[in-house]
Each structure stands twice: as structure tokens, then as C-alpha cells.
Chains A and B, each alone.
Chain A
Amino acid sequence: MSDAMLEMRDLRIGATAYPPGEPPQDIEIVHGISFTLQKGKVLGLIGESGAGKSTIGLAALGYGRGGVKITGGEVWINGRDILKGGLRGLRKLRGAEVTYVAQSAAAAFNPAKKLMEQVIEAAVHHNRCSKSEAEARAVELFAKLGLPDPETFGNRYPHQVSGGQLQRAMTALALCPQPDLVVFDEPTTALDVTTQIEVLAAIKEAIRDTGVAALYITHDLAVVAQVSDDIMVLRDGDKVEYGPTDQIINAPQEDYTRALVSVRSINHEEKSPTPDPVLRVSGISARYKGTSFDVLHDISVDLHPGQTLAVVGESGSGKSTLARVITGLLPPSKGEIEFSGRTLSPALEGRPREDLRELQMIYQMADVAMNPRQTVGTIIGRPLEFYFNMRGAEKRQRIKELLEEIEMGDGFLDRYPAELSGGQKQRVCIARALAAKPKMIICDEVTSALDPLVADGILKLLLNLQKIEGVAYLFITHDLATVRAIADSIAVMHRGKVVRYGPKSQVLSPPFDDYTDLLLSSVPEMKLGWLEEVIAHRKMESAGN
């Protein structure tokens, strides 16, 4: 093993599980993973939540998160087994030879200290270089990562820079001590697509220029395809497939990898608009109490019965606020909402029960959208009781039918939300909305907290239910792949305005306005070299202007 930088041999990691209502038990969460990483190479670790990818990444630093223990195997870095070095050895290793980039830079930086102080801290602490050398290096890294005013950038506090900049500052922090290995743990997952692409390009360039080896952890195969040389697909702590990026993307061997590669390839025929929209939003402006600016400006969109209107935009574009206005939680300052032929009262309190029943909502985080102290039966049964006065056997029968519709059996009737998986929770929320027999359901980022394969299942279920029940969806999302899969018409939102609106085919085909173009071209594609193409294209465009 001449230039093997990192080598894991039969790594086994254990943790303590706390199943509800049972005594805690020890379980193994990573089952004997082995791989080798050469100097200057990038290995992508990919898998769904619970696959053990972060756990393996942290094991490269000899670290286990609360309750997690490395129970077997060896981790060799630069020719020595770091697990045998004891705490003292690990202290020398962490932050010097191996560094870590966390998912949420906002949570990882100390808000009370300036960025420069934090970026050079590890390098100085480990005596890798003097303070002035470290600062010079940091400035160099800031420039390399495309941060504005690299000379003075470090004088800012974390809250004074944007999320994408902070994530890049964190990359600088990890690279400053000139480590041999950097562990990137979902560094772009919390960012908007248009920001993600910049950070991704910056990270890739920095890795190439400094020649470090990197472990790149993500759940998004399209992202990892852009930065890594090799990819390891993980599932439930087991290796599924391990090979060069090219082979994994273009010629996957295992069924599971193939499913990951082909995710969101749902084909949805666009339906044409009808004369009577179920929801007509006209000229809505809205602002939050106590503020002096509008978060929504003059929004007008229609939603037709049995169809899906996708509202797309980045965080802060006002798409969730639009949902709050439609549900009546935030009365608009201007404009009018017409729902199945009636004008809706602006505030929730003024709406008759029939309006409330016909307009249901599904949330992003299914865990907090259900009362943890109520059983599935109670959760789905309450709307039946409340709107239709159903009781006893009749109600139970209807709940069973609804559970059938969401492809879950009546065995779930007496379970608590904590005993369900993420996808099952979202299904129960869908059943709760359906129980009211609504004309329209607002879906607020319903798949963004789910793993790709699970999200796929939920989208298919929603489309299927639309066919059966004829319900219309107002689908709020930041994910354009989802939009392609389910929308009939699309409204693109940017800074509180609808910048583009119309049938799907029209919105997604050129000529584009600038923002839609930026948004569409930022969505990672599952092919090699996509990142370079987009960046080159953008450079050319800006040079042309």
C-alpha cells in the first residue's frame, strides 16, 4: 500500500437502540466495510438515511457520535491504525491530518467569533504553521473558493455572510491545516440549488488544487457524480456496490444502485386547463405583522380541478407564505382568493367548516405534523368525526379504507407515529388530508425530508390518488425533478413574485427568463462532467455580456 492514504479494514460500528416500549439493546449499524483511498482521490459515500455513511465518515476521524462505538476493524491513515493510538493520538490526528466539513455550517460556526479566528484555529493549535502563515493561507483559500473580498472576508462574523458563503468558509476551515484527508458530510444538502452549484464547484476546485484526499458523503447521486473518482453505495450499513464513478452512474450492477440512478423518472401526462379553476388566486400581496415590506407581490395563479400546480422557488421566495395566505393563517393585505366558486374569507376564523374541509394541507415534516400521543387511528379518524360526524364501526371501516388507499394495512391502526418510518408517516398525513374528502390539498415540500426512493413512492401515491379522487394539488417544492414528475402547470417564484407561470411544457421550454434559466440549469444531472459544462457555459455567458 504505497500511497494509500486511508484504508478501512472490516470496519464494524455498534450503537444502542431504544425501541419504543422495550429495553435498550445493542445493535450493529455498520457491518464490516473495507475500502482504500489513494492520495488526492475523492471517494463518494452514498446511501439513504440510516445507511451508515456519516458514521463511516466520522470513523475516519476515529469518532463516534453519542452512543456510537467502533466495535471492530481497523482504520489506517498514513500507515498507522488510528484506533490503536488512544485519545492522545486521535487529538493529534483530528483537525490536522484529517478534518471535517459538517452539513450545517450555520450550526457549526461559533456565532461569537470572527470567521478568520475559527478558520485558522486548528492549524495554529496543531502547530502546523504560525498565525500569520495560517492567515495568509486562509486568505488564499477564501480567494480560491470564490468568496468576496478574500482579504477582509475573515473579519466578518458568521451571521454576516450567506449560507453558501459560510459553507465555503467551512471548507476553508477544513483545508487550512493542510490535511491529508477531508471528510465532507453532506456539505451542500442544506443549500438552495443555485447556491449548491457554486459551492460544489468551489469544493471540487479546492480539492483538485490542494491535492487532498476526500470522503464525500451525500444522499444525492447526481451531486456525488460531479466530484468523486469512486463511489461506494451503502445500504443499512452494508456495501451494495463499489466502483469508479463512471461505472456506477452508467453501468450500475446492483438493482438498488439502478433504482437510485433512475429515481424520479415518473412520466406524467400534462392535463390541459379547464374553464372553472378550483382555486383562483388574484392579485395577492401579503406582509407579516409588524414588518413594513411585502413578502408576496401581486400573485395571481389558478389551479384546475384534478390537476397539480407546482410552486417552485428557493428558500425565501415566498412559496410557503403563499400557502399560509391560501389557508387563511396569514390574511393577505391585497387581493382575493376564490375557491370552488366562492370567495374565501381572508382570515381562518371567518371561514365556514365546509371551506376548511375542502382545503386540506400536508406538511414537510411528517414527524411534527402528527400528535405523537395519538394513534394512527385517532389521527385519521378525527377529520371523519369532525366533518362527517362518523362514530364507532362506520368510522373504523372508513379508516381501514383510507389505510388501504395509502397502501398500508389496518395493522397500523393502533400504532403511534414514533413507531412508523418516515415514508409511512407521510402516508398517514396524506390519509388524514384525504379523510376530509377535500377538493384541493396543499402539499408543502412533502417529499423533501424523505430519501429519494421513499419520495418516489409518495409521489406515485399522490398521482394515483389524484386519478381516483380527482383532488387538486398545490405542490410547493424547491426540487425541479419533483416538479417535472408531477406538475400540470408551474409557477416559478423569486423574491415574492411569480416570475414565470403557465402549463408545464411551456414553463420548462425556452426561451427562459434569467431566473428560470439559472434555476433549471442548477439542478444536478446524473452524468459525468455536468458541473464543468454548466460552469463553463456560465463563464462564457458572463464574458459575452
Chain B
Amino acid sequence: MSRIPVAAAVGLFFTALYFLAAIFAPLLAPYGVAEVVGDVWEPSSATHWLGTDNIGRDLLTRLIYGGRTTIFIATTATILSFTTGATLGFLAAVLGGWADQVMSRAIDLLMSIPTLIFALVVLSVMPVTLPVLILVMGLLDSTRVYRLARAVAVDINVMDYVEAAKLRGEGRVWIIFREILPNALSPLVAEMGLRFIFMVLFVSTLSFLGLGVQPPAADWGGIVKENKDGIVYGIPAALLPAVAIATLAISVNLVADWILNRTTSLKGGRG
């Protein structure tokens, strides 16, 4: 921890800023999320720092609450995709044989369908509520995590220390969680950062297409959609959530890079 590179520090700062804003949204936001407080697309002023949106709600408030929704969905979906994907991936690697074949080919099948189209189809027939949204996103993304986790675990599974544990008579649970997991953690943690960003982009895309978070609840993709017509009149309201998405993506990426660098043995360090 002695030295944090500038890039990582910037990343950490913005990531922390967004997460804190998300957690303390009700305390920070100056107005209510669905409260109409002014005219349509007012420019920024002392009362409305970032102006108002297409129906006169305070844009800063919308952005703070929008971040809260976006980050919440992305986080829970990431956790879901990681627990499912990693557990199944490790299991496939340890079991091997036909169990591995069946699981891997089923995952291949799922991955062969473009994620966004798959999600659109599922969400158009199911009621779009938060749990459904998170479930769909998490499970679809867990295929990618499965691939990575299995690949990493297959490598670890043939190490002599795993063989030693098998010869000792250890059960599968010990082998997966005590021998494999700790050694697979660093690539998985780095991947987690990237997957989180994909989730943010994914939920924003879905909302922009109208199949994600439903109004009047706010989320960044939704805010872009609501204000996109303003761009024609030179109103920047739609750009602000886009900037938020971009900065969050970049800063989480910077943090993930830093973690990866710190924990891989490639550079000699062991975290």
C-alpha cells in the first residue's frame, strides 16, 4: 500500500465518490427524485446546480438517485453472476469428465446468443421489476465468469498441492474453497471490476431502450433517454448522465488494473 499510482488514485477517488453518493443519496439530494421543481430544461443556477430535466425535475437530484439505482443494480447483478459463475466453473473443473462437458456445452449454448438480444427477449415477456432485471443480468453474465473461473481452476486443479490434498483424502468442498479459490481470487477480482462496468453499461442500455428501470424511478440510462430530445435544442441534460457513466467506467477500470498489477506474480509481487 506504500505507493498508489496516480491513475489508481484518480480511479479510487471517483469510484469512492460515486459509491458514497449512491449510499447517502437521500441525504445529499436537494429535492425529491420525482418532484417537479421548475421549468422544463432550465439552465444551471444557484437553486438547480445542473439545471432541470425534460419535465422540470432537478437534474442533480435525478443524477444522484439515478446513480444509486444504477450502482445498486450493477453491484447485486455482479455479485450474483460471480457467485453462480465461479461456483459452477470451479465445480466443472474439479468434477471434470462428462459433468464438465454438460455444463460447459450448456454455457456455450447460452453464450452463442448475443446477450443484449437475449435480455430484450426475456424482459419483453416478463414483468420488468428490479429482481427480474437483476436476475436476468446476473445469470446472463455468469456465463462469462464461468468460462474464466473454469479456465483458472483447471490450471490450479493439476497443481501438486491439489493432488497432495486429494491424496490426504480431502473432500471437494475443501479443495474448491481452500485450495482453488484463494489462488483463483486475483484474476477473478480483477475481472469483477470489468464485469461491474459491463453491468453498468448493460443496465443503462436496457433503460435507454425502455426495458430497464421504469419511470418515475431514475437511472443513468433512463435519464439519457428522457433528455435525449434536448440535444437538438443544444440542451446538455442528456450528456451529464453519459459523462457519469463514462467516468464511473473508467475509474473502476483504473482500480481493477491496479489490483491486477498488485496481485499477479508477473511482476514479482504477491498481494
Q: Which residues of A contact B (CB under 8 A)?
A: 17-18, 20-21, 23-24, 327-329, 348, 351, 353, 356, 360-361, 363, 365, 368-374, 382-383, 386, 416, 418, 432, 436
Contacts and interface: CB of A to CB of B under 8 A. Distances in A.
B178 to A, nearest CB: 8
Interface in B156-198: 159-161, 163-164, 166-170, 178-179, 182-183
Nearest to A17: B268
Contacts of A368: 159-161
Residue from B161, B163, B166, B179 having most chain A Cβ neighbours under 10 A: B161
Q: How large is the interface on B (under 10, 10 to 19, 20 to 34, 35 or more residues)?
A: 20 to 34
B162 to A, nearest CB: 8
Contacts of A351: 169
A21 B270 CA distance: 7
Interface string B232-271: 0000000000000000000000000000000000011110
A416 B2 CA distance: 21
B238 to A, nearest CB: 45
B105 interface: no
Contacts of A363: 160, 164
Residue from A23, A369, A370, A373 having most chain B Cβ neighbours under 10 A: A373
Main secondary structure of the interface of B (DSSP, over half): helix
B161 A369 contact: yes
A17 B168 CA distance: 36
B160 A373 contact: no
Contact of B268 (A24, A356, A360): A24
Interface string B1-33: 011000000000000000000000000000000
B267 A18 contact: yes
Contacts of A24: 268
Interface of B: 2-3, 159-161, 163-164, 166-170, 178-179, 182-183, 267-270
A371 B161 contact: yes
A356 B270 contact: no
A18 B170 contact: no
A386 B268 CA distance: 33
Contacts of B179: 371
Given A348-B167, A371-B182, A416-B270, 15 more contacts: A18-B267, A18-B269, A24-B268, A329-B167, A348-B166, A351-B169, A353-B169, A361-B164, A368-B159, A369-B161, A369-B164, A374-B182, A383-B168, A386-B168, A418-B270
B2 A23 contact: yes
Contacts, number: 55
B21 to A, nearest CB: 34
Contacts of A18: 267-269
B168 A382 contact: yes
Nearest to A366: B160
Residue from B2, B163, B164, B269 having most chain A Cβ neighbours under 10 A: B164
B160 A365 contact: yes
Contact of A356 (B168, B178, B182, B269): B168
B182 A373 contact: yes
Contact of B183 (A327, A360, A372): A372
Given A373-B183, A383-B168, A20 B160 contact: no
Contacts of A369: 160-161, 164
Nearest to B169: A356
Nearest to A354: B169
A24 B169 CA distance: 40
A23 B170 contact: no
Contacts of B178: 371
B100 to A, nearest CB: 15
B199 to A, nearest CB: 28
Contact of A361 (B2, B159, B167, B267): B167
